[in-house]
Amino acid sequence: MSRPVPAPPQVIPSGQGGPCAKCGKATLRYGVGGNPLCPSCRAVREAEVAAQKGARSGSSAGV
Ligand SMILES: [Zn+2]
């Protein structure tokens, strides 16, 4: 009667969702816990920022 249903990846309240700024996947962008990046892109971004912080030794910013 009840079949296994995979858990939804993220609950997005009405009016608070939008496309991820990076991959375009629907994500919670506004309100509590909102972020323009989806959780997976956010994790990638945080890893990149951490790597850049580690690599930077204080010269003029490139991109
Ligand atoms: Zn994304």
Supply the pTM of this predicted model.
0.61
Contacts of 52 (CB under 8 A, 6+ apart): none
- Tell me the pLDDT tens digit for each residue of 27-45: 999 988 899 999 999 999 9
**Separation of 36 CA from ligand 1 center, angstroms?**
8
The tens digit of pLDDT for each residue in 40-61 reads 999 999 999 999 998 766 666 5
| Structural contact between residues 32 and 11, judged by C-beta atoms closer than 8 angstroms | no
CA of 54 relative to ligand 1 center, distance in Å? 24
Q: Distance, CA 27 to ligand 1 centroid (Å)?
A: 8
